[in-house]
Structure 1
Amino acid sequence: MSLQFYEGQAFWKSPSEYQPGTMLTDEKISEVERHLHVRLPRGYIELMKQQNGGELAFRYVLFEDGDAAIIPYLYEVEIDHGIGLSSVFIDECRLPDKLVLLTGDLHSWLALDYREKSNPSVVYITESETESGKWDEHPLADSFDQFTTKLFCK
């Protein structure tokens, strides 16, 4: 089996079953950043300006131990839904603070991690299989741009 890694072209799957958000403007980005108290990574913003959320063409990522996760879509950049609801899900699921949730399903999450720095790393968080109410963290990349280079399709 040959893996094809993302190299800067065709990030979004087309057609997509996930309905993207409305066209992203600089004003909307500033509003969401103020709401989340973060500065979103430039590479992330550039992709979201192409299409504000949706299914990924390169939807798999490898962990250091060789396991893989599916990242089917990214949430849209909005305040009242999408990444703007990060704090709601963080509270509800008892996730660590200072995360911006890029996608998830209540059992696993892809997030920008702002806990130790203003330039976030990317982490994949899953429910612990050994301890109820706890989360296991899988560091994926030191930056969003590095994360995208680790995405692949089969």
Structure 2
Amino acid sequence: MLQNDPTSPVSPLAAYPPLPPAESRTRAPEFYGFVAWSSSSLLFVLYLLWALLPDSYLLRLGISWYPNREWAVLLPAYSIVLVLLTYFTYFALALAHTPAFSHISTITDSRAHLPPPDVPSPYLAHAHPNAIPEMYDIPIGLVNRVIYGPRTPPAELPPAGRPH
């Protein structure tokens, strides 16, 4: 092995221009794509001929039986309805599996890292100098108390009929 060889451990530079990659892929997807494109195009042309040609032309071509022409309109209409119903179904399933606003899963999940219940106030550990407290998720109740203050009982409403 020479010292200036590009694969030498003492020469980390790659060869320029880079070598072409080894051809290892198959061309089968290209053939499948061509067959799918050509067969769908042929079926579409046959559909248009069936839907638009008069009966006399079809009989001259030797076609003696074909489905009723109303299916030329019904098939696209049913297809559009089927697509719309599919969207509606997926939307309804998503709504059905969405938890209510009052459900606990809208606030926390199974991955929440909460402090163990026997640890007395782990959130105050940051108050000590040079302390690096352990990282925990903050419960929503504590967040609400810090932002909105402690819970106070609601003020009594004045009796009805008296001005306040």
Per the TM superposition, whether the score is higher than 0.5 is no
In terms of fraction of residues, the more helix-rich structure is 2
Where relative contact order (Cα < 8 A, 6+ residues apart) is larger, the structure is: 1
In terms of fraction of residues, the more strand-rich structure is 1
Q: Tell me the TM-score normalised to structure 2 length.
A: 0.19
Q: Tell me the TM-score normalised to structure 1 length.
A: 0.20
